């Protein structure tokens, strides 16, 4: 479990092939201290497991499904990545609850610099559209953000200077892919409503059959 507050802007130092997946060596700076094999680490919002820790480098593995459903499959040596260690039970939740389970990959639609911030717009696909709400929380490449604007085909967030300089979002340009994880509370609400709707439809069908229709 994570909070979406990025702790360190790491860099991919090496990539390898393992079956249909990849091994990643990431320069994690001070985050590597105290980490052990088996620990979790959020990389661009994707929860991965450390297989080895060597000084300031953490080695992790990503299976084929992860590479296909996130932007980790496009990483190259030298790429910068957002890193966050799991929340501690006694810590403060400064962002929002982030699981490290990406719901969809989308693209940057526009980047609009303002005097004190940058408005960044992302495409809204059918998979995540029902789960995004105005002023709600969303994690983009693992960064906890608030939805500033919501349109029919896109959503927009406002990025302050600190976020731009301490995460990969400050390096993103139009057309680039980002990982999106929607708010877990919204997922449960939508899933519950969908089950209720289906149950109601089945009940109606049973009644109609009972009436001879």
CB–CB of 176/93 below 8 Å?
A: no
The C-alpha atoms of residue 131 and residue 186 are separated, in whole angstroms, by 6
8 within 8 A of 85, measured Cβ to Cβ = no
* Bridge partners, residue 42, by sequence: 47, 84
Task: Tell me the pTM.
Answer: 0.91
Domains of the chain listed by start with CATH number: 8-84 (2.40.30.20), 104-187 (2.40.30.20)
- What is the tens place of the pLDDT at every residue in 144-176? 999 999 999 999 999 999 999 999 999 999 999
CA distances from 25 to 28, 177, 202 (A): 9, 21, 51
Q: What is the pLDDT along the chain (213 residues), one digit of tens a residue?
A: 999 999 999 999 999 999 999 999 999 999 999 899 999 999 999 999 999 999 999 999 999 999 999 999 999 999 999 999 999 888 888 999 999 999 999 999 999 999 999 999 999 999 899 999 999 999 999 999 999 999 999 999 999 999 999 999 999 999 999 999 999 998 888 888 888 888 877 656 655 466 554
């Amino acid at each position: 479990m994570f909070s979406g507050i990025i702790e360190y802007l790491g860099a991919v130092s090496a990539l390898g092939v393992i079956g249909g997946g990849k091994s990643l060596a990431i320069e994690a700076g001070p985050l590597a201290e105290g980490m052990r094999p088996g620990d979790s680490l959020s990389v661009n919002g994707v929860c991965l497991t450390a297989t080895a820790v060597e000084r300031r480098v953490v080695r992790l593995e990503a299976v084929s499904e992860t590479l296909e459903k996130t932007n980790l499959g496009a990483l190259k040596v030298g790429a910068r990545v957002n890193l966050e260690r799991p929340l501690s039970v006694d810590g403060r939740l400064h962002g929002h609850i982030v699981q490290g389970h990406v719901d969809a990959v989308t693209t940057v639609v526009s980047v609009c610099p303002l005097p004190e911030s940058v408005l960044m717009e992302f495409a809204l696909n059918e998979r995540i559209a029902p789960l995004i709400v105005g002023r709600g929380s969303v994690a983009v490449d693992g960064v906890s953000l608030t939805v500033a604007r919501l349109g029919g085909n896109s959503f927009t967030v406002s990025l302050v200077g600190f976020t731009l300089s301490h995460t990969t979002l400050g390096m993103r340009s139009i057309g680039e892919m980002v990982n999106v994880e929607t708010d877990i509370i919204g997922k449960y609400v939508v899933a519950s409503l969908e089950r209720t709707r289906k149950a109601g439809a089945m009940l109606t069908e049973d009644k109609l059959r009972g009436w001879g229709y």
